[in-house]
Structure 1
Amino acid sequence: MATVFVVGPLSISPAFADDDETNAARALYLAGKSKFEEGRFDEALVLARRSLEQVESPNTMSLAARCLAELGRKEEALAMFDAVETTAAARMAAGDDKYEPTRTQSAELALPLRRELGVVRVHIANAPAGAIASAGRMSAPLVGGTARLYVEPGQTRLRITTGATVLTEQTVVVAAGKPTDVSIGDAPSDGANGAPITPSPSAPDTSSSGPLLPVGITLGILGASGLAMFAGFGASSDATYRKLEEECGGRCGEDRRDEANQGATFQTIANVSLGLGLASAVAGGTLIAIHFATADDAAKSPQSRVQLVASPTGAAVRGTFD
């Protein structure tokens, strides 16, 4: 039985910067929100994706996820809800707490789908570049040797491919609301949640630079993860496009619509991941550099305070001195 979301007003408004590009993104978001409230989910999804091409807003991503859920594309919806969680967490780590309501609301909306579907968590040691895991109606790139695939409960066929080459495949039994771990080769000992394995940030610094180092490391990790997700999902989107172009010359029938839709979702996630990765990496590197610079002359300099200022279009560092 499909999960049905009650259509109601979206209570969260996106925050966009005052420039032409982000104002255009905001207009597209509001138009998509209006279509969603009218029950015109296909049109709302198109507008949300166009908005995301302009600005990587967690609020717009949440709208896209809700559209996918209403259209019965549950697996894609959960993948998009995961992207909302990752992006909102990165913004909050950078000091932008206004996305906490978005994160909370998206988690609540995703919960019925998480109870209905199962998840296959794939772990592969030394996964080749461009490897893709597929099961049921979902495919996802292996990022850091791991992938998450949402599938209907029961038996499903898991396949690992690179291009047209099938590396391995096996039958997996999946239960609703529960994860099923599949390890191939020497599985990672960490990252059991299906996310890329990352080192733990160091303990908070007690010097005059305060928590700059751990925050910088955290943002650096998020940046690396975002860029890896961009590479993986971008490759998947490109592979889907090339396959459809070769097999039906770009004029595919309704029987190939699911593949085209999934390729579009992969491209959206790739674009969002690129923006998140670049902003986080730049901000993290800046904070780490400031940490070491201030640590050297803390004893002979006025006490400094440095604040990371993040917006949907990037991040910057603002400093004050006492």
Structure 2
Amino acid sequence: MDREMEQYQIDRLESSRYLAQELEQWKFTAPNWLNESEYPDHKDIDDLQFWAWQFLRRNKNYHFIWLQYVEALNAVIRRLPELKPILRGRTVANSVCDDYTNEAEKANYWRLDAIASQQRELNVFSGIGLLHDETTVNEWRERLSASGEIQNASVESLESYLGEKWGLTCLTNPNYSELTGRSNFTTCGIWHRYAWNDPSHRYKKYLTDPVYDLRLPVDVLKRQFENVLKEKKEREKKGLFVSVKVRPVLPKYRDYLRVLDALECGLTHEEIAKKLQPKIDIALAKKNVTAWKKAAKKLVEKDYLDLPAHMILKKSSTHS
């Protein structure tokens, strides 16, 4: 028994080391902040979704969620090694299937991809349909169908579930300099933050219906109801429940990013100021760095979604 326990501890340690090595290679790696040419230029790129991604990919909470997703992929790989090429493909910008020219290879790829999508580690189950011993979505659905509980349960892919929380169609490797392939900022993701008013959208579940206290006098309830209707009309007219506060300042974004990356390297405001603005007074340069840091951190934490929101608002005003 002691020998079995010892072997178990050894296996567990080896597994932890393997996981640590795997996760290390997926950590975010910033450009060299001293080299301006490694950063995008607003003169070449004016796509606000592109700039929103530049800030989101520097969000440490996003890094943590990304590594959790990679850990889920590794869990499936350890259980089903034959799926490794497929699951590794989910961490790259474009589908691995693009590398295949042979139709038989492509067909096999999609067969394995379908199997991978079924695995329990890569899905989020909700409602009363909690997992028992099932390892795939189909097994789970079969059990719930047999018990008549399937209508009260739902399932969503992990990469979509995690991506939605950041306004993305699916979670994306933060080491990519731009969003490509299946991932992008979506109207629904922005709407999720701002309570985007689209009655046809499936994310209307995030809205909260008004609640009335029927113990109140009738005239009070009437005023409350009229206020709700008035607010609803205002929302429909504007398209947004909450106005977008952050205005794009593209010429500043390269400096914002360089300041963020320099701070991560442990540099002081004065050291950064001397490198970024060597020709002006150091006091003014430090003041600029402080202001850039403040604005950049807001964009990293949550205001990045204001940028694609501007694009949608602009399109809406153009069509109206």
Q: Do the two structures share a fold, i.e. TM-score over 0.5?
A: no
Structure with higher helix content: 2
TM-score between the two structures when normalised by the length of structure 1:
0.26
Structure with higher strand content: 1
* Relative contact order, higher structure (CA 8 A, sep 6+): 2
TM-score between the two structures when normalised by the length of structure 2:
0.26
